[in-house]
Chains A and B, each alone.
Chain A
Amino acid sequence: MADPQIKWRKIKNDLFKGLVVFLSLLATLPLLLILFYILRQGFSSINWSFLTNLPKPVGESGGGISNAIVGTLIIVGTAAVMAIPLGVLAGIYLNEQRNSKVARYCDLAIDVLQGIPSIVIGIIIYEWVVRTMGGFSAFSGSAALALMMLPFIAKTTQETLKLVPNHLKEASLALGVPYYKTVLKVIVPAGLSGILSGAILGIARVIGETAPLLFTAFGNPFMSTELSKPMSSLPLVIFNYATSPYEDWHQLAWGASLILILIVLTLNMITKFIESRWKIQF
């Protein structure tokens, strides 16, 4: 029954599948190229002095990125402290009061916030925080990053809690547990893995952001742990060194990129681990 029509349709079918597979494999090419390139270039830069030294003046070798690593941890850590509680609470509200008018506006606001380009967030925080404080500061950088994390954490919290089946809540209320306790001790713990991975993913997303830090945290060639002063950070250092003409600064930038990517990958892996091992069980 070798009907030529059928044969032709089969050929088209196989060709299409081949095309899909081919394009999909091609799509992974940039990722592999980037990761291998950074690994190769950055690996040679990483040694103990690289991680513990401060940057050296132009033209002198042996500089390091210790202040950038510390700076990133402090700035992102502070942002997380600000954004996670607010975001989780907002997510809880959105899920619990989903029909109220305020919740609908809040949902809208979060969607808008999520889309704001990072550079525009930099402008906003410059006006609100940097001008008010009269100076660049790590805190303003954290504020900018917190503003970026907030909608993401709120959304993931809301989505996670949506999945918690209603009967848990109803059973708890039926047993006489007050509403606030039901939320805090029954619903939220049931969704804890999702909320946690949302928070960690939120951190992973902002840890590499440069644009909002350009005119808030500003950068600092020295080690600083004060929130009220400018602070260095890994993405800023990468940007400045990458666009410079000095070879050894390029090397530093590759090393810093490798460190940054390792941190981001680790955070992502932790998230996947939490999601797989710690599934919601009802």
Chain B
Amino acid sequence: MTIYSLYIYDRHCQCVFYHDWQRVKKARPANEGVMLSHVTPSTEMTSPRNTLTMSSGIIIASSESVPPTPAIAPPVSSANLTSLPFDEEAKLVYGVILSLRNMTKKLSGREETFVNYRTSTYKLHHYETISGYKFVMFTDPNTATDTIRFVMRQIYTNPFIEFVVRNPLIDMDSRENGIDNDHFRTAVDKMVKNLAIYA
């Protein structure tokens, strides 16, 4: 049992947050200028921004335009050669979710959303908030559906509301910046690592 990665999309179909944990096959660095700034496949806990010049060292929100730092090149291995650039991957994930959502709605004939799908090596879970934010989690194929749905709800009700929605410095509908900030990332990271299924 394990958890691979978490994507959060806003209602403009943009990926605003990404974090990965035990992901084996890393995405290649995104093409320049396609992703929102502060949404990177490198999930080192060190912020991509220059924290040394700031007084506190912790970023509450970043509205100033900092050029997105080029992601650290992952070590070259045979597994990396076939992986997609991060921006394309993020788009594909969104595309799959959107298509499956439409298909589910059509098949059931009522307002019904798609919950998850499973392949031989992973399971993708989807949770959508009323405000249109979509939480997508990649986990082990054997993870129970209800557990992850609960976790995603928890991420939304706790760190997301607390550090993103209630944060006056974050421009929620910004089309330039992700919703990244250190408090949120740390809280999510801690929450996931404390789960029983994370091991």
Indicate whether A and B interact: no
B: which residues have CB within 8 A of A?
Answer: none
A: which residues have CB within 8 A of B?
Answer: none
